[in-house]
Amino acid sequence: MRTKDRGLRIEDQVQDAGRGEISSLSPQSSMLDPAALQRVRWRCRRGLLELDIVFGRFVDTHYSGLTASERQTFDELLDMPDNPLWDMISGRKETETESQAALLAKIKSV
């Protein structure tokens, strides 16, 4: 397995032992392996305890059921600084896009 670090986004290239093919695993991938899920959990660890709790519960219960575009939006949310992100979750700040609003509604429902 080789790891490419692209800023905050990390993609692993996994070689299939049977065919010698290389596939990329990322938050946008439809295949969700335990290592990819663990990386998402690690990215959910924040400086604010409130965000740790909210994101931890969401990943444990709903992340595997997200579509590729929802995973991309979730990744974009994780790229945000803690305070503006918490302000959006708590309703003190408006979301930047409709996709963020839809995903934040799912996050708030947990």
User: For residue range 27-72, what is the model confidence (pLDDT) as tens digits?
Assistant: 444 457 889 889 999 999 998 999 999 999 999 999 999 999 999 9
> Does residue 5 lie within any of the structural domains?
no
pLDDT at res. 15: 45
pLDDT at res. 4: 52
> Does residue 73 lie within any of the structural domains?
yes
pLDDT at res. 31: 58
Q: Quick check: 104 pLDDT over 60?
A: yes
pTM recorded for the entire structure? 0.68
- How many domains does the chain contain in total? 1
Helix (H, G, I), strand (E, B) or coil at 7: coil
Residue 44, token pair as written in the block: 């959910």
**DSSP state letters, 13-77:** EEE-TTT--EEEE-TT-S---HHHHHHHHHHT--SSHHHHHHHHHHHHHTGGG--HHHHHHHHHH
> Does residue 12 lie within any of the structural domains?
no
More confident position, 92 or 33:
92
Q: Report the CATH number that the domain containing residue 58 is assigned in CATH.
A: 1.10.150.250
> Does residue 9 lie within any of the structural domains?
no
20: left (phi over 0), alpha (psi -120 to 50) or beta: left
